[in-house]
Copies of this chain bind each other. A is one copy, B any other.
Amino acid sequence: MELKVAAAVACRDCALYQTAKVLGLETPDCSSLNRVVLRDHPVNKNEVLYREGDSFRYLYLVHSGSCISSATILGRRSQVMGFYLPGEMAGIESIGQQKCNHTTRVLEKGSVCQLDFLMLEETLGKDELIRVQSYLLGASAIHARQLQWERSLTSLQTAEQRVAAFLLNLAGRFESHGFPGHQFRLPMSREAIADYLGLAMETVIRTLKSLHKKGLISSRAKHIEILDRTALSTLLRS
């Protein structure tokens, strides 16, 4: 409808590109890169990238579109664990393990680059391997920071705080990948947000409306505009 953003990261802003760089795969003709990377592979809505229990093999860089990942934890029904925006890397949460512990599917159709993680380890020399591992440790750390952020949602008491934190987090992530952070399109349904935040869908809806009425955001369908970022942040400080 309105601003149907064909949001896509430039390759140089892409995390996989960084990976490729540390690999020394940045040759002029990209021949080495092409051995381990499948580039700009189109994916359709609801397509599954990988499933819980699959043996771990690939990292996916979301080039355009977006993904949602879920997992069954604590023996409960599958829960939404996170979202992958353009420029972010899916599959990273399974590094260091035999099997994937998330199921990740496409939320909005787009394209992904795919890196064969196993072939990487087999193909590389020692020096390259050291750089790759070192890079992956850094990537794991970034993933861990996001996990810690999500973990701290537990201590946010009100639905208003959780929704505000969610919007600010999305804004920051969009910005860090080169998109405007004050105005964006929510890739996911209200229900997915609710599941992710541990709230009921109705509560998410009412909270968005309430923030809208207070003038802190504009929320119309999937289009979000952040009008008063400072006030939103202040909500979090208990």
Interchain CA distance A153-B133 in the complex, whole Å = 31
CB of A150 within 8 A of CB of B149, answer no
Chain B residue with Cβ nearest A141: B96
Q: Are A97 and B141 in contact (CB under 8 A)?
A: yes
Contact, CB under 8 Å: A154 / B149 = no
| Interface residues as binary, A75-113 with B (CB distance below 8 Å gives 1, 0 otherwise) | 111010100000000000101110001000000000000
From A26-34, A208-216, A230-238, give the one contacting chain B: A230-238
Check if B73 sits within 8 Å of A149, measured CB to CB: yes
Interface size class of A (residues with CB under 8 A): 35 or more
Residue of B nearest to A143 (CB): B144
Q: Is A10 an interface residue (CB 8 A)?
A: no
Partner of A137, one of B137, B151, B153, B156: B137
Q: Are B233 and A75 in contact (CB under 8 A)?
A: yes
Q: Across the interface, name the chain B residue whose C-beta is closest to A73.
A: B152
Q: Are B152 and A74 in contact (CB under 8 A)?
A: yes
**Interface CB pairs A-B, < 8 A, 30:** A71-B148, A71-B152, A73-B148, A73-B149, A74-B156, A75-B233, A76-B155, A76-B236, A76-B237, A77-B238, A79-B155, A81-B152, A93-B144, A95-B137, A95-B140, A96-B139, A96-B141, A126-B127, A126-B130, A129-B130, A130-B130, A130-B133, A133-B133, A133-B134, A137-B137, A147-B148, A147-B151, A150-B154, A151-B153, A156-B198
Chain A positions near chain B (C-beta within 8 angstroms) = 71, 73-77, 79, 81, 93, 95-97, 101, 126-127, 129-130, 133-134, 136-145, 147-157, 165, 195, 197-198, 233, 236-238
